[in-house]
Amino acid sequence: MKTFMQAKETVTRNWYVIDAKDIALGRVASKAATLLRGKHKVTYTPHIDCGDYVIIINAKDVLLTGNKLNDKMYYDHSRYVGGLRERNAKTMKEKYPVEMVERAVKGMLPHNRLGRQMYKKLFVYEGAEHPHMAQQPKEIKVGGTK
């Protein structure tokens, strides 16, 4: 029996919505990364971007368990001397909830050209509204709150 390898021209993409309200950040990010990679499909091919489009809504209401709100740190560096910027998860959740969710998902994707291509199919919104209703996205439930 021959192994099936999908061609990039034959990929069909769907749109999915994930509501992150009161769901742990890691659970939302791992579900989104799985959908973006296409691992939920029987036609999954590792070297082809066969994933779907993912919309994450209510990023400001995502849940962080334990003491992560105060202990988890996000670091950025401008590559200049003294250019280190550090923010904790509480600041990120209050001021930059979209960036916090995007970083979590991006960290679960491959760190190469293919991963960057997959990341472009992710759309994160702070509130419950999104401008992609014309694509008729299907809602995906993410199990477990804590």
pLDDT single digits (tens) 88-99: 999 999 999 999
User: Cα separation of 28 and 9, whole Å?
Assistant: 29
Q: What is the pLDDT of residue 4?
A: 86
Its pTM surpasses 0.85: yes
Contact 30, 144 (CB under 8 A): no
Q: Which two tokens stand for residue 68?
A: 């992560």
Q: What is the pLDDT of residue 88?
A: 96
**Helix (H) / strand (E) containing 63:** none
Q: Is the pLDDT of residue 77 over 60?
A: yes
Domains for the chain: give ranges and CATH numbers: 13-64+93-140 (3.90.1180.10)
